Structure 1
Amino acid sequence: MVIQVIAIFLALGLLMVFAYRGFPVVIFAPIFVLVAVAISGQALLPSYSETYMTNAANYIKTYFPIFLLGAVFGKMMEMSGAASSIAQSIVKALGSKRAILSVVLACAVLTYGGVSLFVVAFAVYPFAAAIFREADIPKRLIPGTIALGAFTFTMDAFPGTPQIQNIIPTAYFGTDAYAAPAVGIVSGLIVLIGGLLWLERRRKQAADAGEDYGHNHKNEPEADTDQKFPPLWLSLLPLVLVLVFNYLFSRGAFPVAQWYSAETLQSFKIASVSTVASSWALILALCIGIIAAGCINFRVVRHKLAVGLTAAAMGSLLAIFNTASEVGFGNVVKTLPGFKLVQDWVLGANVHPLISEALSVNILAGITGSASGGLSIAMDVMGKQYLAAAQAAGISPELLHRIASMASGGMDTLPHNGAVITLLGITGLTHKQSYKDIFAITILKTLTVVVVAIVLSLF
C-alpha cells in the first residue's frame, strides 16, 4: 500500500515540476497519472479512456461556455478601450501618492466585473508602470500589486464575482455566485487591507534604502497613457450589466431556475436545476456584457473583431483544456488504491468539514498550480463527502461554497502557476525580482481562509 501512495505523490510531483518548467499540462497530465496507474497495478487503457477522458470531457461540457464567453468579454473590453479607460481613470484620480492603492482598485474593478485575469494584467500594466515611475516606486513591486487586485478578493471572495473559481462550487453544493456574502466580504476586506499594508511596508523599505523605479527594465510599456479612451461611465457599463443581470438571473426578479418546468428539466436528465442555474445565469449575463462592450467604440472594434475573437477563442480553449486535463488527472487518482489512505488523512485532518475543505483545496490548488484545477479536483473527489458532513453538522452549503472558492485562490499562486508566470512575463520581471511579494500575498490569502474556517467551525 505504501508504494501505491508514493505512486500518487510521484505523479503529482512530476506534474508540478513539468508545469513549472513550462511543459504543457494537457500532454503531461495523462502521462504522469498513467505512471501512477501502472505502479498501482491497475488497468492502464480503461483508466485513460473511461476515467480520464470521460471526466475531462464532462468538465469541458459543463464549463466551456463560461471560459469562452469570459474570454470574449475580456477581449471586447480590451479592443474597445474600455478596460484601459477604467484603469487610467482610477490611476489618475488617486494619483501617484496612492499609486499602489490605485493599481489594486483598477485590477479589482475589472476582475469583479468579469474581465479575465490575463486581460486585466495587460490592461493595467501600462498605467501601473507610468504611475510607479512617477511616484519613484520600484518596478519590482508591480506584479505583487496586480496580483493583490486581480488574483485574490475579487476573484473568489466577494459575492457575485463572475470568475470561474466562484462558479465551480455551485454545481456541487446547489448554491449560486452570491453564497455566504458576509463571510466573503469580511474575508476579502481582510486580504485587501493586509495586502495593502504589506505592499506599503515594502514601498517604504525601498524608499528608506534609496531605491527608485529603476532603469533598463525589460518590456517597458510604450503606450501613451494620455491616449483617448471611452468615457469612464460608458466603460463601466458592461461590467455593471454583467453584475446586475447575473444577480437578476441568479436570485433576483428573473431567476433562471424558474424558467423551465420539472418535466422539461427531467427530459434533459437534469435532476436538480440548482446544479446548473448559476452557470446559466452567468452565460446570459456575459452575453449581455459582450454586446454592450462591443457597442463601445464599435468603429474601432469591428476592424479588430475577427483577430480578437480568434485570439479569445484560442485562449479559452487552452485554458479549459489545461484545467480539464487536471480534472481528469484527479479523477483517475481517486480510483487508485493508495488514494483511500490519502483521502482518509485529508478528511480526518480535522473533524470539522470547513477546516478540512480549506486545507484540501489549498493543497490541491498548490500542487496543480491552478485555482480552478485544484478546486475542481477537490470537488470531484471529496465534494459529496463534505456536503454530507456539513449537512450532518448543520452547516450551510453556502459556507462550504465560500470556503472552497476562497481556498482555491490561496496556494494556487506558487511559482509554477500559469497566471504568475504570465504576469511576470508581461511586466518583464523575474521570479527572483518580484515573487517575494506575490508569495507574501499568497500566504496572507491562505492564512485568511484557514483562520476564517477555524472561526466558523466554533459556531
Structure 2
Amino acid sequence: MSFLVCLAALCFLMFVAYRGFSVILFAPVAALGAVLVTDPGAVPVIFSGLFMEKMVGFIKLYFPVFLLGAVFGKLIELSGFSRSIVASVVTLLGPGRAIISIVLVGALLTYGGVSLFVVVFAVYPFGAEMFRQVGIPKRLLPAVVALGAFSFTMDTLPGTPQIQNIIPTTFFHTTAYAAPILGLVGTAFILAAGLSYLEFRRRQARKAGEGYGTGHLNEVTLDDSVPTVSPLIALLPLVVVGLANLVFAQLIPGWFGETASASLVPGDHAVAIPTNVWAAIWAVQAALLLGILAVLAFGFRAIAGKFAGGSKDAVSGALLAGLNTASEYGFGAVIAALPGFLVIKSALAAIPNPLINEAITVTTLAGVTGSASGGLSIALGAMANQFIANAQAAGIPLEVMHRIASMASGGMDTLPHNGAVITLLAVTGLTHRQSYGDIFAITLVKTAAVFFVIGFYYLTGLY
C-alpha cells in the first residue's frame, strides 16, 4: 500500500504537468496528498518542516543563478548577438545542420561548467532564431537543447564539472575523469542516437510541410534596427562565461579556505558558511556577471533603450522557472521520506548484477524524485557501501561504478515533473503536450546508453 501511495503521487504530478497545470501549485498538493494518506496528523509538520524547507533551500542556493542566467540570455537577444551567431553558424555548417549546431553550443557551455539551467536561458534566443530562419518546428527545440545540455556533458563525458559527475567521487573516492573510455563510448552512443532521432523528426516535419509555427509564447523579438556585429564579438560573452566559471571555480576555495566568514562590525558575531557548498555557485554567479558586462560593453547602444522592458521579462522568467524547480525539489524530498520509498529501495537492492543493480536503482530514484542529482544522492547515500561490496566481490573497478552511477542519474530523471524539463518548457514558451514526446525520446536514448556501456564493459573489459 505504501508503495502505491508513492506511485500515485508521482503519476498525479506527471499527469498535471503534462496537462499544462502549474507545478508550483500541484507539487505540494501531490506530496501532501501522499502524506495525508500515510499519516494525516503529519501534514502540517511535513509541509512546513520538509517541503517548504527544501523548497526555500533550493531558492536560497540557486535563484541568483536563475536570475543572472535569464538576464544574460535576454541581453544576448536584445543586443543582436544571437542573430549574429545564428547567421554565422548557418553559413558555416549550412541550414541543414541547425540541430547539431545548437547541440554543440549547449555541449560546449555545459562541459565548460555553465549550469544546465543557465544554458537553457543562453541557448534559447539564438536556437529559436535559427529554427525560425531554417523553418524547423519550434516544438523540436526543447529536445535539441536537452540533447546538448542535459545528456552527455552532464554525466557521461569524462571530466565534466557538472554536479552529477562530482557526487560519485565522494562515495567511490574517484575523480571526475573516472572510466574515460566508457565515458567516451557513452558519449558517442548518445550523440549518434540522439542526433539521428532529431534529424528523423526534422525530415518528418518537413515532409508534412510543417514550418516553425505561429502563435508561440515567449518568442524572441526581432528588431531589424539592431546593428550587425562580428560573430567573434557575439560569441565573446559565451566564452567569457565558460572560462570565467572555470577560473573562479579554482580560485574561490583558495581565497576563502574551508569556511567563508565575514563580519561587518569588528568583533561582532561573524557569518560563516562552508566554502565547498557555495564555491561552485559563486563561480557561476561571478561568471554570469562578467558575461553580462561583456554584452553591455559591446552591445550597449542596441540594448540601452530596451533594457528596462527586457529586464522585467527576464525577472518574470527567472521567477517562474526558479519556483517551478524549487517546488519540484520539495516534492522529491517529501516522496523520499515516505515509507513506500523504503519499499522501492529494498526491491531494487535485490537485483543481482552489481552494475545493472546500480544503474536501475539510481535511474529509478532519479525518476521518482524528478532530479538527477537528488536521485543520485539518495541512492549513493543509502546504498554506496552495498554497491562497493558487490563491485569488489565481482572484481569491478570503482571507476566503472562511478561512471555507471553518474550516467544512470541522467537517465529517467527527465520525466514530465523534472525541474529542468519544466524550466526548459517555460523558457521556450512551449507545453508538455507540444514538446515532451521528443524530450522523452532523448530520455530513452540516455537510459539505453547506460546499458550499452555496461554491455561494452563486459564484452571488452575496457574502462
TM-score (norm 1): 0.77
Cα displacement (A) at 1:298:
0.5
Residue in 1 aligned with 2:303?
A: 301
Alignment partners' CA distance in 2, 1:400 and 1:79: 45
The answer to whether the 8 Å contact 2:65/2:285 transfers is yes
Distance 2:348 2:67 in 1: 34
Q: Which consecutive residues of structure 2, in runs of 5 or more, have no partner in the other structure?
A: 263-269
Mapping for residues 58-73 of structure 1, pairs under 5 Å: 58-73=57-72
Query: Shift in Å at residue 308 of structure 1?
Result: 2.1
Map residues 246-395 of structure 1 onto 2, 5 A cutoff.
Answer: 246-251=245-250, 255-262=251-258, 264=260, 270=273, 273-349=275-351, 352=354, 355-356=356-357, 358-366=359-367, 373-379=370-376, 381-385=378-382, 388=385
Shift of 1:18: 0.9
Between stretches 375-384 and 230-239, larger displacement belongs to 375-384
Q: How many residues align?
A: 433
User: What's 1:418 paired with?
Assistant: 422
**1:455 Cα offset (Å):** 5.3
Q: Distance between the aligned counterparts of 2:381 and 2:121, measured in 1?
A: 32
Q: Is the 8 A contact 1:156 1:406 kept in 2?
A: yes
Q: Deviations over 1:228-260 (max 9, x none)?
A: 532111111111112212222234xxx211112
- Taking the TM superposition and a 5 Å limit, the aligned residue runs for 1:74-113 are 74-105=73-104, 108=107
The 3 A distance-change label for structure 1 pair 307 and 365 is: farther
Which ranges in structure 1 are unaligned for 5 or more consecutive residues? none
How many Å separate the matches in 2 of 1:69 and 1:238? 13
CA distance, structure 2, for counterparts of residue 81 and residue 390 of structure 1:
51
> Are the structure 2 counterparts of residues 322 and 169 from structure 1 closer, same or farther at C-alpha, using a change threshold of 3 Å?
farther
- 2:164 & 2:319 partners in 1: Cα distance? 18
Q: CA offsets per residue over residues 152-211 of structure 1, 9 Å max, x none?
A: 33555456778xxx2466578569xx933846555334322222333445667788xxx2
1:128 matches 2:128: no
**More deviation in 342-351 or 319-328?**
342-351
- Does 2:119 correspond to 1:116? yes
Q: What is the aligned partner in structure 2 of residue 236 from structure 1?
A: 235
- 1:20 deviates by 1.0
Q: Tell me which residue corresponds to 1:37.
A: 35
Quick check: 340-349 or 296-305, which moved more?
340-349
Q: How far 1:46 sits from its partner (Å)?
A: 0.8
The Cα of 1:270 is off from its aligned counterpart by 4.4
- Secondary structure of 1:297 counterpart: helix
Give me the TM-score of the superposition, normalised by structure 2: 0.76
Match of 1:55 in 2: 54
Deviations 1:269-296 (A, max 9, x none): 545x433322222222222112112222
One-letter identity of the residue aligned with 1:289: G
Q: How many angstroms does 1:322 deviate by?
A: 1.7
2:78, 2:42 → 1: CA distance? 49
Determine the C-alpha separation between the residues in 1 that align with 2:330 and 2:138: 39
What CA deviation, in whole Å up to 9, does each residue of 1:36-58 have, x standing for no partner? 11211261211111111112222
Aligned to 1:179, what secondary structure does the other structure show?
coil
Instruction: Measure the CA separation in 2 of the matches of 1:385 and 1:324.
Output: 23
* Contact 1:375/1:404 (<8 A) preserved: no
Provide the C-alpha distance between the structure 1 equivalents of 2:82 and 2:403, rounded to a whole number of angstroms: 28
The equivalences for 1:130-169 within 5 A come to 130-132=133-135, 145=144, 147-154=146-153, 157-158=156-157, 166-167=162-163
Instruction: For 1:227 and 1:300, locate their aligned partners in 2 and report how far apart those are by CA, in whole Å.
Output: 6
- Structure 1 residue aligned with 2:266: none
**1:263–1:58 CA distance, 2 compared to 1 (3 A):** closer
Q: CA deviation at 1:78?
A: 1.8
Change (3 A) 1:240 1:381: same
Partner SS for 1:43: helix
Residues 116 and 401 of structure 1: CA distance in aligned 2, closer, same or farther (over 3 Å):
farther
Q: Percent identity?
A: 40
Deviation at 1:414, TM superposition (A): 4.8
- Report if the CA contact (8 A) 1:51-1:331 is conserved: yes
What is the SS of the residue equivalent to 1:296?
Answer: helix
Which amino acid counterpart does residue 125 of structure 1 have in structure 2?
Answer: A
CA distance in 2, matches of 1:320, 1:87: 28
Amino acid of the structure 1 residue aligned with 2:187: G
Q: Deviations over 1:1-55 (max 9, x none)?
A: xx22211111111111111111111211112211211211261211111111112
Structure 1 residues 202 and 375: alpha-carbon distance in aligned structure 2, compared to 1, 3 A threshold = closer
